[in-house]
Structure 1
């Protein structure tokens, strides 16, 4: 690793799994690790940080219907907790244009 990589900052890709799955779905089913390696190696994408969160966030005290996935607070958790945590722990490019969220429904 060259010395200039020590200070390099990276864009962030937030991947959200489908309902009933968890954060491992992107690597187990989607093979995201292999896909990203190939896409970056072919120069179709730049090196980036990929975040695959659990994606379930319930609001305390809120009664949900039995068929609810318990993700009513997910957006709030991503904005207020997850993004700031990733930005504080990793060398991210700290602007909105370098954060992308993809999800499956």
Structure 2
């Protein structure tokens, strides 16, 4: 009985740790999303471009950023579904532990 309670507590702790780690991740770090880029790299790509060339360059960058955001969204949705499933499983296990505990208490009376 105590083993199940310990397992439930352990699973809750792991679920909380996963949620905490997910929330604390630095998704806003541009380098981790698009790769490191120096000002010199940006300048060398745009030297000699007119306004339409600059707009085209910005459009390419925005398309890459959009792909990254969409990918991150899909990952976040998958992680959220997984966390929801784990939460339901932990709640279900907790309920079963409580029912079993009640039955054991009744039998010992």
Structure with the greater relative contact order (CA < 8 A, sep ≥ 6): 1 or 2?
2
Higher strand residue share: 1
Higher helix residue share: 2
TM-score normalised per structure 1: 0.29
